[in-house]
């Protein structure tokens, strides 16, 4: 038997994001910069994750194909141990 692929994740260049996704990010974070982006396909469902740096914060934003924000979380900087 062959295995089934349940999920495919692809790294994208920021300019390769769909227009609706880029517009939604630009509207939500007008001073933001997209640092990384991925497209995840699960069956027929496609979502996009973008790591956005905006006003000193780094956010992970998940959107659908139409640019609707599904989830947002702030990525905290890890503190280094100082010995």
In our burial notation (b when 16+ CB lie closer than 10 A, e otherwise), range 41-65 reads: eeeeeebbbbbbebeeeebebbbbe
| pLDDT tens digits along 10-29 | 999 999 999 999 999 999 99
Residue 81: the pLDDT is: 59
Q: What is the average per-residue pLDDT within 41-70? A: 95
Q: Taking all residues of the chain, what is their mean pLDDT, rounded to a whole number? A: 91
Cβ contacts of 61 within 8 Å, gap of 6 or more: 25, 28, 49, 50, 51, 52, 69, 71, 72
Residue 77: the pLDDT is: 73
Adjacent-strand bridge partners of 42 = 45
Q: Is the pLDDT of residue 5 over 80?
A: no
């Amino acid at each position: 038997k062959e295995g089934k692929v349940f999920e495919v994740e692809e790294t994208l260049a920021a300019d390769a994001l769909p227009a609706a996704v880029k517009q939604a990010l630009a509207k939500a974070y007008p001073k933001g910069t997209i640092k990384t982006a991925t497209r995840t396909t699960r069956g027929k469902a496609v979502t996009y994750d973008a790591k956005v740096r905006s006003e000193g914060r780094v956010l992970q934003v998940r959107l659908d194909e139409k640019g609707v924000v599904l989830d947002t979380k702030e990525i905290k900087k890890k503190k280094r141990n100082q010995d």
